[in-house]
């Protein structure tokens, strides 16, 4: 900015604007759009990501259901074999106990090895 020339001594000069005036000041609002994708782009991108995410969740849940059903079927198929083994073990153990009881009680008169210890005819599950 050019400074005005110094006035001669004794002369009063008021500080004011230059003769041609100041340049115009831009007072318009300056709110630039933020850097990056627009709101629409962000919304669309999030919606696409969510759609893909839900698709993967649904497909994996179907897979998990099938896997759980398969494990359930495996357990159901194997149950008869396990039961058969358990039954065979029970029969063998019961025979051993009966043989041991008859050996121990052979000198006791009137003792029946297979007789029930209860006084009722009602069925009760065997003592294991």
Give the binding site for other proteins (CB under 8 A).
46, 49-50, 52-65
Q: How far is the CB of 65 from other proteins (least distance, A)?
A: 7
Query: Which one, 62 or 88, has the nearer CB to other proteins?
Result: 62
Query: Which one, 49 or 92, has the nearer CB to other proteins?
Result: 49
Q: How far is the CB of 40 from other proteins (least distance, A)?
A: 16
Which residues touch 105 (CB under 8 Å, ≥6 apart)? 111, 113
User: Residues 112, 118: contact at Cβ < 8 Å?
Assistant: no
**The two structure tokens encoding residue 117:** 């210890």
Q: How far is the CB of 55 from other proteins (least distance, A)?
A: 8
Q: In whole angstroms, what separates CA 1 from the centre of its chain?
A: 70
Q: How far is the CB of 79 from other proteins (least distance, A)?
A: 23
Which residues touch 102 (CB under 8 Å, ≥6 apart)? 113
User: Residues 2, 8: contact at Cβ < 8 Å?
Assistant: no
Query: Which one, 18 or 36, has the nearer CB to other proteins?
Result: 36
Query: Which one, 47 or 78, has the nearer CB to other proteins?
Result: 47
């Amino acid at each position: 900015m050019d400074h005005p020339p110094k006035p001669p001594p004794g002369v009063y000069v008021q500080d004011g604007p230059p003769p041609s005036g100041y340049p115009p000041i831009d007072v318009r609002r300056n709110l630039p759009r933020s850097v990056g994708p627009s709101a629409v782009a962000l919304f669309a991108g999030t919606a696409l990501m969510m759609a893909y995410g839900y698709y993967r969740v649904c497909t994996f849940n179907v897979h998990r259901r099938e896997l759980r059903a398969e494990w359930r079927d495996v357990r159901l198929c194997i149950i008869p074999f396990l039961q058969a083994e358990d039954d065979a073990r029970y029969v063998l153990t019961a025979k051993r106990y009966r043989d041991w009881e008859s050996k121990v009680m052979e000198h006791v008169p009137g003792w029946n090895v297979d007789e029930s210890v209860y006084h009722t005819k009602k069925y009760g599950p065997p003592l294991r």
